[in-house]
Amino acid sequence: MATDNESYLELFDVSKKKQVGKAPLASIRFIPRIGERIFLPLDRPGHWHSYTVVSVEYFLGNRSPSEGMDRVTLYVEESK
């Protein structure tokens, strides 16, 4: 999980209106585009929860780069 003072990417489920994932932005290799799917691991190896990206927002802080606080939010819904 990302700490409060570092840049991060979050997944926000629009139907449940809650955050379903969060990771440091530095650990993300690429950011999915609208319409692409994301798989999050569940309780056991080999079990995944699938989400589809419906919107992307980039939040850039007014602070110095050393303080971080940039955020990317992927708004997702459960894949069918």
Q: What is the pTM of this model?
A: 0.79
Could you give the 3-state DSSP secondary structure of residue 65? helix
Look at residue 15 in the predicted model and tell me its pLDDT.
Answer: 95
Rounded distance, CA 77 to CA 68, Å? 28
Look at residue 41 in the predicted model and tell me its pLDDT.
Answer: 83
Averaged over 50-78, what is the pLDDT? 83
Q: For residues 36 and 79, is the Cβ–Cβ distance under 8 A? A: no
Averaged over 33-53, what is the pLDDT? 88
